[in-house]
């Protein structure tokens, strides 16, 4: 059982009481009496510490505060207690624990205003960032030897090669879902053979690239933002600048190039895996043999579907990489900001990819690639 | 009114009725025996042994990369050693997963990391309150705030620092705020990793005096990693030297100087070592411990 601090109040001369503190007066035992000491309403003449067994700064503070609040004197303090009381009394302060919080009526309009201004300045900042990337491309074209090949290869591996497993599995499962669900609906019209058209065209034209872009945004876009953001916090980015290395050249360019180069490959791979998933499930639910399904794909999927996917892919890669790198470079302050910026990078990338995908869909239909 | 009554008076919540550890009564709060640490092929410590006496300030010195911080991390249980035994406040730290035991020891030590390691989403005062809330949930919010305020002041920070976030502080201020958090529980044992590195000389001298005063008033045992020769001369009772993966010597500075080890000789008799020693000598003569820095 823990031993708690305790106190008694004995009446003395003229109605004033003497508070006698007892037991250990430490951070572990003070919890029992702190509130009660604050609630003592009688006039206190003295705080007696002669029966205190142990004391630390928390105990010394509590005794001193009680004496201060009642303008009482402290008696019976041991040598150690007196020294502790001296040092904590010198350390008295009235600093706020948290920064002042403005009232709701001020905070809400302020937050709205910041949001609106943020949109404007954010758009400008993104344009500025895009500009610096384009300038960096220009520099690169002038001095190709300055290009950081090693860093690009490393990013190609991270963005592309190590994503093969998860993107393959995801696409395979999506292929299964489209084919199976499509078959259920099409069977009602006796048109289940069109499951092949459905799976193949959707995979190459839309889903392969779109799902890959979402996966790359989640895997690599977030990684870009978090890596660059942490490097900003640890002043690595500043160090680069002072050495004369442009962070855009060293950090941003390899990542953007890697995403732009890898997205078409991953998108095509994803479409192929989705078709294999569709063929796999058709083998069982539609009695279309696996290889027949694959052969029919050649006939029913026009080549321009492949082009639609391959044209969209690098654009999506660019958006994902720009969002990740831009948010990473915006990190300032503390680790919480890294988290916020990483979230923003992924959300913005996915949102922009879906908006652009809709625009591409209308565009390609209009130009006759139906 | 007895202690028992006080506890049942409704002023203390149920969950706070748990036992608290007895203060450590042995002579050696830290005992390390046969410690071996390695990272892959690289062996950092080999058969390292060290005993810290109660109530002393032990300075730990060694070249960069000699494993001072790794030793501290092993002692506080952040680095699992390959071999050897570590006892802190009578508890074996190498014992696998004994959560009670670990909590018991953790409520009785304070650790100051090199960069301060403050929680970045909390203000300085809230940082100081974290260990208090963790171990003593029965404490009132009002008392917690008061404790946080005086701890911050004791660490030598200005009054308005309490409501600031770590990202708004300079490196030296973060270190002091880290010290305030390390001292939050009035620990018996204090680990300081290069506390004066990066502080201005006035701030460093104040930090030294503060450490010394805490040791005197609270009977603290301090495990102090430092490169600051002034700190070593000024406040350390004994100095342990890490070299060749071991503690090669422990003793007072005159005792170490009597040893014929090239690294120790170079360390204390190099130009900086001499300057610190001279400063110490002058300070002693003037009978004013603060003058050594001035």
List of long-range contacts for A32-35, beta carbons under 8 Å, 24+ apart = A32/A4, A32/A5, A32/A6, A32/B6, A32/B7, A32/B9, A32/B11, A32/B12, A32/B138, A33/A4, A33/A5, A33/A6, A33/A7, A33/A62, A33/B6, A33/B11, A34/A62, A34/B139, A34/B140, A34/B143, A35/B11, A35/B140
* pLDDT-derived band at B284, boundaries 50, 70, 90: low
Residue A8 has pLDDT above 90, yes or no: no
Contact B186, A57 (CB under 8 A): yes
Distance, CA of A260 to CA of A204 (rounded, Å): 18
Q: How many CA atoms lie within 13 A of A222 on its CB side?
A: 13
What are the structure tokens assigned to A88, written together? 């904590």
Nearest-by-Cβ selection for A95 from B9, B149, B154: B149
pLDDT score, position A54: 82
Cβ atoms of A317 and A216 within 8 Å: the answer is: yes
For residue B119, is pLDDT > 70? yes
The pair of structure tokens assigned to B149 is 């305020």
Confidence grade of residue B2 (pLDDT, cut at 50, 70, 90): very low
**Span A174-199, pLDDT tens digits:** 999 999 999 999 999 988 889 999 99
Within 8 A of B6 by CB-CB distance, chain A residues are 4-6, 32-33
Return d(Cα B106, Cα B182) in angstroms, integer.
Answer: 11
- The number of CA neighbours under 13 Å toward the Cβ of B252 is 5
Query: Three-state secondary structure along chain B?
Result: CCHHHHHHCCCCCHHHHCCCCCCCCCCCCEEEEEEEEEECCEEEEEEEEEEECCCCEEEEEECCCCCHHHHHHHHCCCCCCCEEEEEECCEECCCCCCHHHHHHHHCCEEEECCCCCCCCCCCHHHHHHHHHHHHCCCCCHHHHHHHHHHHHHHCCCCHHHCCCCHHHCCHHHHHHHHHHHHCCCCCCEEEEECCCCCCCHHHHHHHHHHHHHHHHHHCCEEEEECCCHHHHHHHCCEEEEEECCEEEEEECHHHHHCCCCHHHHHHHHCHHHHHHHHHHHHHHHHCCHHHHHC
Residue ranges of A 237-266 with Cβ closer than 8 A to chain B = none
Contact A34, A62 (CB under 8 A): yes
Lookup result for tokens 């404490």: B139
d(C-alpha A207, C-alpha A200), whole Å = 10
Q: Convert the pLDDT of each residue in A265-314 to its tens digit.
A: 999 999 999 999 999 999 998 888 999 999 999 999 999 999 999 999 99
Strand partners, B83: B36
Question: In 10 A of CB A358, how many CB atoms?
Answer: 9
Beta strands at B83-88 and B30-39: parallel, antiparallel or unpaired: antiparallel
Give tens-digit pLDDT for B30-67: 888 888 888 888 888 888 888 888 888 999 988 888 88
> Which residues in chain B have their CB less than 8 angstroms from residue A62's CB?
143
Percentage of chain A modeled with pLDDT above 70: 99
More confident residue, A264 or A239: A264
The pLDDT-based confidence of B287 (bands split at 50, 70, 90) is low
CA distance B69 to chain A (A): 20
What are residue B49's phi and psi, to 5 degrees? -130, 145
pLDDT greater than 90 at residue A350? yes
B30-39/A17-25 β-pairing: unpaired
C-beta separation of A257 from A202 below 8 A: no
Across the range A224-248, mean pLDDT stands at 90
Answer yes or no: do A87 and B6 touch at CB < 8 A: no
Contact: B217, A335; criterion CB under 8 Å: no
Enter the tokens of residue A260.
């732009």
* 3-class state of residue A184 by DSSP: helix
Closest CA of chain A from B156, distance in Å: 9
Please indicate whether, in this complex, the C-beta atoms of A99 and B6 are within 8 angstroms of each other. no
Task: Answer whether residue B293 shows pLDDT above 50.
Answer: no
Residue B16 clears pLDDT 60, i.e. is over it: no
The residue to which tokens 């490393």 are assigned: A154
Closest residue of chain B to A22, computed from CA coordinates: B3
Is A28's CB within 8 Å of B136's CB? yes
Burial class (CB in 10 A: 0-12, 13-18, 19+), A189: exposed
Distances (CA, A) of A325 to A224, A284, A302: 6, 45, 36
| Spatial separation of the C-alpha atoms in residues B100 and B105, rounded to whole Å | 9
Rounded Cα–Cα distance for residues A72 and A20 (Å): 12
Nearest CA in chain A to B123: A98
pLDDT tens-digit series, residues B136-192: 888 888 888 888 888 888 888 888 888 888 888 888 888 888 988 988 888 888 898
B-chain residue closest to A78, CA distance: B217
What is the distance of C-alpha A323 from the center of its chain? 13
Checking phi first, is residue A2 left (phi over 0); if not, alpha (psi -120 to 50) or beta? beta
Q: What is the ipTM of this complex?
A: 0.75
**Residues within 8 A of B (CB atoms), A 47-106 only:** 54, 56-58, 61-62, 65, 80, 83-84, 87-88, 90-100
Whether residue B8 lies within 8 A of chain A, CB to CB, comes out as: no
pLDDT interval class at B104 (50, 70, 90): confident
Could you tell me which residues are beta bridge partners of residue A6? A22
Report pLDDT for B21. Answer: 62
Distance, C-alpha A165 to centroid of its chain? 24
User: Which residues in chain B touch residue A68, judged by CB atoms under 8 angstroms apart?
Assistant: none
Burial class (CB in 10 A: 0-12, 13-18, 19+), B257: middle
- Residue B205, pLDDT above cutoff 80: yes
Q: How far is the C-alpha of A245 from the C-alpha of A224, rounded, in Å?
A: 19
Beta-bridged to residue A114, according to DSSP, are none
Say if the Cβ atoms of B167 and A96 lie within 8 Å: no
Identify whether the C-beta of residue A5 lies closer than 8 Å to the C-beta of residue A59.
yes
The conformation of residue A246, written as its DSSP 8-state character, comes to: -
Is the Cβ pair B147, A5 closer than 8 Å? no
- Selection from B129, B107, B134 nearest residue B189 by Cα: B107
CA dist., res. A98 & res. A268, Å (int): 53
Question: Bigger pLDDT: B292 or B171?
Answer: B171
- The pLDDT tens digits for A78-126 are 888 888 888 888 888 777 888 888 888 899 999 999 999 989 998 899 9
A174 contact partners, CB below 8 Å, separation of at least 6: A207, A211, A274, A277
Domains of chain A by start residue, with CATH:
6-93 (3.30.750.24), 147-366 (no CATH)
Classify burial at A339, counting beta carbons within 10 Å of its beta carbon; exposed 0-12, middle 13-18, buried 19 or more.
middle
Computed on alpha carbons and rounded to an integer, the radius of gyration of chain B in Å comes to 20
Check: CB of residue A323 under 8 Å from CB of residue A355.
no
B159–chain A nearest CA distance, Å: 5
- In whole angstroms, what is the distance from residue B60 CA to residue B228 CA? 11
Going by pLDDT thresholds of 50, 70 and 90, the confidence category of residue A73 is confident
Looking at per-residue pLDDT, the higher value among B230 and B278 belongs to B230
Q: Which of residues 99-118 of A touch B (CB under 8 A)?
A: 99-100
Q: Are B231 and B59 in contact (CB under 8 A)?
A: yes
């Amino acid at each position: 059982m823990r031993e708690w601090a305790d106190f008694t109040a004995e009446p003395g001369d003229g109605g004033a009481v003497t508070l006698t503190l007892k037991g250990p007066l430490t951070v572990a035992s003070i919890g029992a009496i702190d509130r009660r000491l604050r609630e003592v309403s009688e006039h206190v003449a003295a705080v007696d510490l002669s029966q205190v067994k142990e004391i630390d700064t928390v105990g010394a503070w509590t005794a001193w505060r009680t004496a201060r609040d009642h303008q009482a004197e402290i008696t019976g303090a041991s040598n150690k207690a007196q020294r502790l009381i001296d040092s904590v009394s010198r350390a008295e302060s009235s600093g706020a624990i948290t920064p002042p919080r403005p009232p709701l009526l001020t905070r809400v309009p302020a937050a709205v205003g910041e949001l609106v201004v943020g949109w404007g300045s954010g758009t400008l900042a993104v344009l500025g960032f895009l500009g610096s990337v384009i300038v960096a491309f220009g520099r690169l074209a002038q001095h190709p030897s300055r290009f950081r090949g090693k860093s690009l290869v490393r990013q190609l591996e991270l963005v592309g090669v190590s994503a093969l497993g998860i993107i393959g599995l995801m696409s395979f499962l999506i292929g299964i879902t489209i084919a199976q669900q499509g078959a259920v609906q099409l069977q009602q019209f006796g048109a289940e053979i069109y499951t092949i058209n459905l799976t193949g065209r959707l995979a190459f034209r839309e889903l392969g690239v779109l799902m890959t872009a979402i996966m790359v945004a989640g895997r690599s876009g977030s990684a870009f933002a978090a890596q660059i953001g942490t490097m900003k916090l640890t002043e690595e980015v500043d160090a680069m600048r002072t050495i004369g290395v442009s962070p855009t050249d060293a950090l941003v360019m390899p990542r953007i190039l890697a995403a732009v180069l890898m997205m078409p490959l991953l998108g095509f791979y994803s479409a192929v895996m989705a078709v294999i998933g569709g063929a796999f499930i058709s083998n069982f639910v539609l009695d279309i043999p696996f290889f027949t399904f694959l052969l029919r794909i050649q006939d029913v999927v026009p080549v321009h579907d492949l082009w639609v996917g391959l044209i969209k892919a690098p654009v999506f890669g660019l958006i994902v990489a720009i969002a990740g790198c831009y948010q990473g470079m915006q990190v300032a302050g503390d680790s919480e900001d890294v988290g916020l910026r990483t979230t923003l990078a992924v959300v913005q990338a996915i949102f922009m990819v879906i908006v652009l995908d809709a625009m591409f869909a209308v565009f390609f239909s209009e130009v006759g690639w139906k | 009114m007895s202690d028992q009554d006080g506890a049942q008076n409704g002023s203390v919540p149920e969950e706070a009725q748990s036992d608290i550890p007895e203060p450590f009564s042995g002579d050696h709060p830290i005992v390390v025996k046969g410690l071996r640490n390695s990272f892959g092929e690289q062996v950092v410590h080999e058969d390292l042994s060290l005993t810290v006496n109660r109530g002393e300030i032990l300075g730990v010195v060694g070249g960069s990369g000699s494993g001072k911080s790794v030793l501290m991390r092993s002692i506080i249980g952040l680095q699992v050693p390959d071999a050897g035994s570590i006892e802190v406040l009578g508890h074996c730290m190498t014992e696998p997963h004994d959560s009670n035991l670990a909590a018991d020891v953790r409520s009785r030590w304070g650790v100051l990391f090199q960069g301060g390691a403050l929680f970045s989403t909390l203000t300085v005062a809230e940082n100081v309150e974290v260990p208090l809330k963790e171990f003593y949930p029965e404490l009132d919010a009002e008392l917690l705030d008061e404790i946080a305020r005086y701890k911050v002041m004791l660490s030598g920070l200005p009054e308005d620092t309490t409501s600031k976030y770590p990202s708004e502080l300079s490196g030296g201020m973060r270190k002091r705020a880290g010290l305030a958090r390390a001292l939050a529980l009035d620990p018996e044992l204090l680990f300081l990793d290069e506390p004066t590195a990066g502080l201005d000389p006035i701030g460093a001298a104040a930090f030294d005096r503060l450490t010394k005063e805490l040791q005197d008033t609270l009977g603290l045992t301090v495990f102090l990693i430092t490169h600051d020769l002034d700190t070593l001369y000024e406040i350390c009772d004994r100095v342990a030297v890490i070299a060749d993966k071991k503690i090669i010597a422990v003793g007072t500075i005159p005792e170490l100087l009597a040893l014929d080890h090239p690294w120790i000789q170079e360390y204390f008799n190099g130009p900086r070592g001499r300057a610190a020693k001279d400063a110490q000598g002058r300070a002693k003569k003037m009978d004013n411990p603060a003058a050594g820095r001035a």
